[in-house]
Amino acid sequence: MSSNLTVIVLAAGGGTRMRSKTMKVLHPIAGRSMIGHVLAAVQAMQPERVVAVVGHQRDQVGPHITSLMPEAVLAVQDEQQGTGHAVRVAVEALTGSSEGRTGTAVRGTVVVAYGDTPLLTGESLRAFAAEHEAAQCAVSILSGIVARPFGYGRVVRDEDGDVLAIVEEKDATPQQREIAEINSGILAFDAEFLVEALPRIGNDNANGEYYLTDTVQLARDAGLTVGAYPIDDVMQTEGVNDRVQLAALAREHNERIVTRWMREGVTIIDPATTWIDSDVVLERDVTVLPGTQLLGATVVAEDAVIGPDTTLKDCEIGAGARVVRVHGELAVVGPSAEVGPFSYLRPGTKLGSGGKIGGFVETKNSVIGDGAKVPHLSYVGDADIGEGTNIGAGTIFANYDGVAKHRTRIGKHAKTASNNTFVAPVEVGDGAATGAGTVVRRDVPAGALAVSAGPQRTIMGWALRRRAGTPQARAAQAAGAPVEGEPGEASHDADPG
């Protein structure tokens, strides 16, 4: 394929049928905007130049395109007057000529694609451009054979199979509407021909627009070759006009991603309930259980088991880890670690090798060392927990004083009891321990035991005197509770020390 390749991506349409404040081509599928998928396919062609035509909501679309492809030239189509007009605007942006005739920046092959075709692949575009160049066509059409061609432009051929024209649905005769070969809208041009033909496109049609497809007739009139190449996977050329089509293409895209990973050695128990974004990376022998979503740039190493009912976004999961019924974002789970069920890993969570974050635990901006465990019903925020340490059930890391966040540090092989509160900033040394119900407000030295609760007081007969006539009192009486002591009398004391 020629190195002199220009790709024009049309993304100026309003997308009114989406009924959205978000521009149509910015709606996401599989973790990327629709136009993001198209630009990825375009980049795979290694073009010399890329022009994106923007119009409606260009303040949204332009910066998004630039963030994905900084080298792309943005051409503004203020009024949407059809595809022919859009491509002329693109050529003018490259040549710097309102006449579009200098050709100083447009040479070789020009491919025109659309920003709302998220299934399109770089391989298909490269093959199409190569066929166009091999046949030395002035114009080539990426076509498709469909069972229900309603709404599409038809590729009209003569008895010898040569392309005569593309006729839009509104302009087609009843006989032409029976044609099953449709124009995808993706076209390839000889650049010299395109620059010369664009000013000669008229708008004498049902919509009063400048159709790029009229270049087919212009090429035929000049005795030049026109080609049409049906793509085997016609779904790649499907565009999106409303949210029903968006959902349909999202399902199709996801099915393709899931199928690819299964063929590469990933076990996916229920493909229908598993959603995987385009940029996710899975190693061999990963197992994904039903109801799982792997989003963003999530990476899962070999032998890890994810799910069921788990959502991970931009997470890194180590080899052999097990993540069950978890919601996680921007978190790292080390090799052979366990998370869940019903855990919430917020950004900045890092769980070391062989560590555990158990049921109903929320973590945020915390490093939990190798072999350390936070097994039950806890909140760990802005903390460093050393290797081998065990955090007791119901523990709260109180990291916020109402103004600023503060950090708690727990040393190696420490043992903290249930229902502790660590009031940050505070540090617990290696091998230290805490008693049940302790509120830790000051540093605990290595090897020390910290307790903050006073001696237990037991007041005998309290239920019979203070709750007389209640089910509580009747239960106590039936159990033989003695009527002893006076209110406030401590019949038994217990010293936790």
Q: Could you give the residue numbers annotated as active site?
A: 376
Pairing of strands 109-114, 181-190: antiparallel
Cβ pair 5, 47 in contact under 8 A: yes
Cβ pair 222, 201 in contact under 8 A: no
Tell me the sheet residues that pair with 478. Answer: none
- Token pair 């060392």 in the structure block, residue: 369
Cβ pair 115, 35 in contact under 8 A: yes
Task: Please state, in angstroms and rounded to a whole number, the distance separating the CA atoms of residues 320 and 333.
Answer: 10
- What tokens appear for 436 in the block? 């049940």
How far does CA 338 lie from the centroid of its chain? 24
Task: Please state, in angstroms and rounded to a whole number, the distance separating the CA atoms of residues 54 and 39.
Answer: 14
Task: Please state, in angstroms and rounded to a whole number, the distance separating the CA atoms of residues 199 and 163.
Answer: 22
Task: Please state, in angstroms and rounded to a whole number, the distance separating the CA atoms of residues 149 and 175.
Answer: 13
For 413-432, give the DSSP string: T-B--TT-EEESSEEE-TT-
Type of residue numbered 192: E
- Burial state string for 76-101 with b = 16 or more CB within 10 A and e = fewer than 16: ebeebbbbbbbbbbbbbbbbeeeebe
Cβ pair 327, 310 in contact under 8 A: yes
Pairing of strands 181-190, 139-145: antiparallel
Where would I find the beta strands (DSSP E) of 269-381? 275-276, 281-282, 287-288, 293-295, 299-300, 305-306, 311-313, 316-317, 322-323, 326-329, 332-333, 338-339, 343-345, 350-351, 356-359, 362-364, 367-368, 373-376, 379-381
Cβ pair 376, 358 in contact under 8 A: yes
For 384-400, give the DSSP string: EE-TT-BPPTT-EEE-B
Type of residue numbered 117: T
Cβ pair 110, 125 in contact under 8 A: no
